[in-house]
Amino acid sequence: MKRTNIKDLKENIGEEVSISSWVDSIRSHGKLIFLDFRDGTGKVQAVVLPNANEEARGVAASLRDEWVVEVVGKVNSRPEKMVNEKE
């Protein structure tokens, strides 16, 4: 699968893509895990949902800040109420 730059993700909404980036931060909120990734073109947030398979949840929980990773997942748009009009 071809690598996608973070700045280009908005052109791939609804598609499965691959990004290679640094782990910027990790926040675990019980059943939800939020991961922030960055590359030379920008930052993006990924969410590991409670219904994700056990392997995905285990990998997400084991990541550490500044690790370099390749992530494959589906690009979703922000919910309407969370869209930043300034971007």
Evaluate whether the domain defined by 6-72 bears CATH number 2.40.50.140. Answer: yes
**In the chain, alpha helices (H):** 54-62
Task: Check pLDDT > 80 for residue 67.
Answer: yes
CA 7 to chain CA mean position, Å: 13
The predicted pLDDT at position 87 comes to 62
The predicted pLDDT at position 31 comes to 87
Token pair recorded at residue 79:
């919910």
- pTM listed for this prediction: 0.87
Higher-scoring residue by pLDDT: 83, 73: 73
Tell me the per-residue pLDDT of 7-45, one tens digit each, with 9 for 90 and over: 999 999 999 999 999 999 999 988 899 999 999 999 999
Kindly list the domain boundaries of the chain, sorted by start residue: 6-72
- The count of C-alpha atoms lying within 13 angstroms of the C-alpha of 11, restricted to the half-sphere facing its C-beta, is 5
